[in-house]
Amino acid sequence: MVAVQDSGVEPRLNSRIEKFRDLSPADRLATVGDAARLGQADRDALRGGVLPLDLANGMIENVVGTFEIPLGVATNFTINGRDYLIPMAVEEPSVVAAANEKDRVLIGLGGGCREIEVQVFEETQVGPMVVLHLLVDVRDAMGANTVNTMAEAVAPMIERISGGTVRLRILSNLADLRLARARVRLTPKALATKEFTGERIVAGIVEACSLAIVDPYRAATHNKGIMNGIDPVVVATGNDWRAIEAGAHAWAARGGRYTSLSRWEIDAAGNLVGTLEMPMALGMVGGATKTHPAARAALKLLGVTTAQELAEVTVAVGLAQNMAALRALATEGIQRGHMALHARNIAIVAGASGANIDAVAKELAADHDVRVDRAREILLRLGKEEA
């Protein structure tokens, strides 16, 4: 669980669901559906198989079919004093963000171009360049098409003023004016396990982060762990995860050297304090967030009302994922947990089905020997025992 800056707002639901992982998929859907007060149409959308081919054909080009990915729900999240059920899609989809909003609509909602910036690069391999930034308030849209349309519209005027030729007219995914921040404070007691004291874990997490701050090779994997939490939320809500990834890594290198996105420190009272700040250009209008039924249902499940709130929740999930990975690294190591989770996949590859999947996976994990041939041996033995 991650908690950031308690605002005193009463939670709309209780995100703590006992033994959620032990439920069947149908029972999990029923449980979160009841908790979030979802109607049958939204429950059906989350179950899957709801994207018609003709609708998909209108979302991207060259459509030949549809491709679904697993959609899960993370529980036990309290963010800004409010409980959330977090929808998370865990594989890559074909999500194309396309807001076909017009300037007059954006202006009517209180958005629009706010300012311009000009940068001059005296020396490049093709000569001097001038770059003009349009700073646009896109409200609750991701804003890619809006900004691109504006850039193309002003290009002729820029050419007349400058006497030069405009080449590129496109947004930047380094959205450094759309930052989202998360912060968590944990006592050593909250982190303690049977094997390790809380102080030992706190020190290990801070040491691991310190390495990521100075070593770009570690920082790349450290930040990938953060994105393991962020990307699934971005995908599940129909947003452009590629844009979020690009912005995150550009932000991590803004000082001229690639470094950690997060910071983990020990405060004066000995508590572990984690912070994460990064660009988060997410939208709730236009594109797949409006056209994909499951994305719409996921946003309803999440219960956010603005793109800013969605960004805050998403970056908090990233910080939580980062903490979980660092905690594992600071204790038993990352492979123990990874291989235990991977054991189910290996069991399925070996041919296990039904109750045998968990039986084979449990034995693989217990033996710390997660291999397909070993899974087949276990499955063969179970078959003989059942006979």
pLDDT tens track for 138-169: 777 777 778 888 888 888 888 888 888 999 88
Of 55-64, 132-141, 205-214, minimum mean pLDDT range: 55-64
Q: Which of 196, 301, 181 is nearest to 251 (CA)?
A: 181
What does pLDDT average to over the chain? Answer: 84
Q: Is the pLDDT of residue 12 over 70?
A: no
Q: What is the pLDDT of residue 307?
A: 92
- Where do we find the tokens 């038993």? 332
Instruction: Report the half-sphere exposure of 322 (CA within 13 A, side-chain side).
Output: 34
Instruction: Tell me the mean pLDDT in the region 345-361.
Output: 83
Q: What is the pLDDT of residue 319?
A: 97
Per the annotation, the verdict on 338 as an active-site residue is yes
Model confidence band, residue 2 (pLDDT cutoffs 50, 70, 90): very low
Q: Is the pLDDT of residue 8 over 60?
A: no
The β-bridge partners of 88 are: 72
Q: Which of 44, 199, 224, 362 is catalytic?
A: 224
Please give the single-letter amino acid code of residue 56. Answer: A
Per the annotation, the verdict on 91 as an active-site residue is no
Q: What is the pLDDT of residue 223?
A: 97
Q: Which of 240, 309, 312, 363 is catalytic?
A: 240
Instruction: Tell me the mean pLDDT in the region 345-373.
Output: 83
- Where do we find the tokens 């629009």? 112
Instruction: Tell me the mean pLDDT in the region 25-48.
Output: 91
Of 16-25, 59-68, 254-263, 308-317, minimum mean pLDDT range: 59-68
Higher pLDDT, 387 or 317: 317
Domains in the chain (CATH in brackets) are 20-97+175-332 (3.90.770.10), 103-162 (3.30.70.420), 336-386 (1.10.8)
Per the annotation, the verdict on 240 as an active-site residue is yes
Q: What is the pLDDT of residue 352?
A: 84
Q: Is the pLDDT of residue 283 over 50?
A: yes
Which are the contacts of 284, defined by CB distance < 8 A and separation ≥ 6?
A: 140, 141, 237, 299, 304, 306, 307, 310
Q: Is the pLDDT of residue 212 over 70?
A: yes
Q: Which of 34, 115, 189, 338 is catalytic?
A: 338
Q: Which of 6, 34, 91, 92 is catalytic?
A: 92
